[in-house]
């Protein structure tokens, strides 16, 4: 299927509309934010952490160690949940949170949209933790069979780059498919109802659809993408409160070290936090990686590759210099 290529102004308008819609979702999900609440970001008395319903930060929330670490500094921790990385970054842009965790692609779209954030750290690659799936009885057997098919994904999420790379390897262009931009919950409904042909998704949604619907994996990210998890912060907060940001990273590092030795306990905590069954969480945990590091030149180069790819595809409105978003602590 051939798609019309929007003009630069149209792409910018679409991006702004998308960000505005995400902002509405954030505010609706987190409760109405007063100007005073948004202005607290640089006070240093509150650290507002954006997290998703899986991953390291939800574990940190469950264990309560960050609160203990920051209490002597007079800093309170507030936790705010988001459905995916794009919405979390818009929440950061709107002043709803100070720090958060997202996949590798959301920061590219956010930087292109003018969100003023910095990368403060990342987890190791987890390429098997995201995949393109189809119904178990689908006639689609390979990625090449996705030509003209309806493929669901959360626009600007970590799986967006996986889809681009997988299509490229299969000899297809992005314009050869029909992308359906849906949130994970809407995409799952569409997948189970048969209104889409394939779904590009990450854990634990991936593990859930595999176990509960017997979804078949066409390809995961192995050999295609790194699927890094990034920790990001507003530039203003990271600049004003480097001690708090470093304390957060220290607690994440301690949690990662504990997690690698206590995977059964990690699974147990995640079952309680996500509401998913133990077998689904155990499958997802097997594909999870732990070990936060500071941002390196190699990591920035990888992010630059993603930015250049999306610029070439006209999915972002302008070229980016990813290094502009590096935290200079």
191-206 CB burial, b ≥16 within 10 A, e <16: beeeebbbbbbbbbbb
> Which residues belong to CATH 3.40.190.10 in the chain?
8-126+228-325, 128-220
Which residues, at least 6 apart from 140, have a Cβ–Cβ distance to it below 8 Å? 134, 146, 149, 197, 198, 218
**Residues near 15 by beta carbon (within 8 Å), at least 6 away in sequence:** 109, 112, 113, 316, 317
Q: Could you give the CA distance from residue 145 to residue 71 in angstroms, rounded to a whole number?
A: 55
- Distance from C-alpha of 169 to C-alpha of 163, rounded to nearest angstrom: 10
Q: How do 198-202 and 150-153 pair as beta strands?
A: parallel
Closest to 303 (Cα-Cα) out of 202, 204, 229: 229
Q: In sequence order, what are the residues at sequence separation of 6 or more whose Cβ sits closer than 8 angstroms to the Cβ of residue 117?
A: 89, 92, 93, 107, 110, 111, 232, 233, 234, 235, 325
13 phi and psi angles, rounded to 5 deg: -65, -40
Closest by CA position to 44, among listed 262, 305, 248, 311: 248
Report the CATH fold assignment for 8-126+228-325: D-Maltodextrin-Binding Protein; domain 2 (3.40.190)
Q: How far is CA 63 from CA 66, 74, 123, 265, in A?
A: 8, 19, 19, 11
Q: Which residue has the tokens 């999915």?
A: 315
First and final CA of the chain: distance in angstroms? 47
> What pLDDT, on the 0 to 100 scale, is given for residue 11?
36
Please tell me what DSSP assigns to residue 122: E
- Is domain 128-220 classified as CATH 3.40.190.10? yes
Instruction: Answer whether 133's CB lies under 8 Å from 206's CB.
Output: yes
- Residue 126 burial class via C-beta count within 10 angstroms: exposed 0-12, middle 13-18, buried 19 and up: buried
For residue 122, the cross-strand partners are: 230, 293
| Residue pLDDT tens, the chain, 329 long | 433 333 333 333 333 333 333 333 333 333 333 333 444 444 569 999 999 988 999 999 999 999 999 999 999 999 999 988 999 999 999 999 999 999 999 999 999 999 999 999 999 999 999 999 999 999 999 999 999 999 999 998 899 999 999 999 999 999 999 999 999 999 999 999 999 999 999 999 999 999 999 999 999 999 999 999 999 999 999 999 999 999 999 999 999 999 999 999 999 999 998 899 999 999 999 999 999 999 999 999 999 999 999 999 999 999 999 999 999 87
Count the alpha carbons within 13 Å of 109 in the hemisphere toward its beta carbon.
29
pLDDT of the residue at 53? 86
Q: Are 228 and 302 in contact (CB under 8 A)?
A: yes
- Least Cα distance to 97 among 212, 231, 205 occurs for 231
Name the strands in the sheet holding 216-220, side by side, starting at the edge strand that comes first in the sequence: 178-181, 150-153, 198-202, 130-134, 216-220
- 123 alpha-carbon distance from chain centroid: 12
């Amino acid at each position: 299927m051939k798609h019309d290529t929007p003009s630069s102004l149209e792409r910018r308008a679409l991006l702004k509309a998308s960000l505005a819609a995400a902002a509405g979702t954030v505010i609706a999900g987190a409760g109405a934010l007063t100007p005073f609440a948004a202005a607290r970001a640089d006070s240093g008395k509150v650290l507002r952490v954006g997290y998703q319903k899986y991953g390291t930060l939800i574990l940190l929330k469950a264990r309560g160690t960050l609160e203990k670490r920051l209490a002597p500094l007079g800093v309170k921790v507030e936790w705010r949940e988001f459905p995916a990385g794009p919405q979390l970054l818009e929440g950061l842009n709107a002043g709803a949170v100070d720090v958060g965790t997202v996949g590798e692609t959301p920061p590219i779209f956010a930087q292109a949209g003018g969100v003023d954030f910095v990368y403060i750290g990342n987890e190791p690659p987890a390429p098997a933790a995201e995949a393109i799936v189809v119904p178990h009885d689908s006639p689609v057997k390979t990625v090449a069979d996705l030509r003209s098919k309806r493929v669901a994904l959360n626009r600007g999420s970590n799986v967006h780059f996986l889809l681009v790379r997988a299509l490229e390897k299969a000899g297809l262009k992005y314009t050869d498919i029909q992308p359906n931009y849906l949130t994970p919950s809407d995409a799952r409904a569409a997948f189970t109802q048969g209104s889409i042909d394939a779904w590009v998704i990450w854990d634990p949604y991936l593990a859930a659809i595999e176990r509960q619907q017997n979804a078949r994996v066409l390809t995961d990210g192995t050999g295609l993408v790194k699927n890094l998890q990034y920790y990001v912060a507003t530039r203003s907060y990271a600049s004003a409160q480097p001690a708090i940001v470093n304390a957060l990273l220290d607690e994440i590092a301690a949690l990662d070290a504990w997690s690698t030795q206590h995977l059964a306990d990690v699974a147990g905590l995640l079952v309680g936090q996500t509401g998913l069954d133990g077998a689904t969480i155990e499958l997802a945990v097997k594909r999870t990686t732990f070990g936060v590091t500071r941002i390196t030149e190699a990591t920035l180069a990888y992010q630059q590759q993603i930015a250049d790819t999306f610029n070439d595809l006209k999915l972002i409105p302008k070229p980016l210099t990813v290094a502009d978003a590096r935290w200079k602590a």
